[in-house]
Amino acid sequence: MPILTLCLLCTLAAVARAAPAAPMGSQEPAQHEELTLLFHGALQLGQAFNGVHRATETQLTEVGHSLGRYGQALGILGQEVSQGRDAAQELRTSLMDMQEEEDVLKLQAEATAEALEEVARGQQTLLESMQRLEVQLKGLWLGHAHQEFENLKAHADKQNHIVWALTGHVQRQRQEMLAQQHRLRQIQER
């Protein structure tokens, strides 16, 4: 803006030099006053332009700072959105892992339940055989039959122990499945 003011002053000076010289008399002081007023007006106009220029520069600087702050805020918001996406992906992965674990536990529980049923049928068959043999042995306490009876009885005790252990294992698996389902429900509710 100072260059514009200087150019304006130079132009006014050139106009003043090019103006025809007035005859000596009363008109000369009037032209001098007009020139002074003209220069004074040009100076004030230059100062006004200078003030507008400074105000505009200040506003542009403030706008630049505001844009910088908005850019920073957008950057932070972008990071938070990215972190939210990452957390959501981790949660999805965690849910899928838990679902797979639950499926494995379910299959194990079904296999264990089938094995228990088979053991229970075998135990029932064994008990029936033992009862028949016991009936036969009540009247005859022969050495070989007595030994077979003791073997069957030991085998039945062993089977009972296995059934007891498997029952405990199934109960633990059921508790694990219930806990897993409870955790899944909590995660899904979130």
Give the pLDDT confidence of 57-106 residue by residue, as tens digits: 999 999 999 989 989 998 999 999 999 899 889 888 988 888 888 888 88
Nearest Cα residue to 179 out of 100, 113, 112, 98: 98
Mean pLDDT of the residues in the chain: 80
What tokens appear for 76 in the block? 């932070």
Amino acid found at 108: Q
Confidence of residue 174 (pLDDT cuts 50, 70, 90): confident
Spatial separation of the C-alpha atoms in residues 132 and 42, rounded to whole Å:
133
* Residues 102, 180 contacting (CB under 8 angstroms): yes
Please say if the pLDDT value at position 26 is more than 60.
no
71: DSSP letter: H
Confidence of residue 112 (pLDDT cuts 50, 70, 90): confident
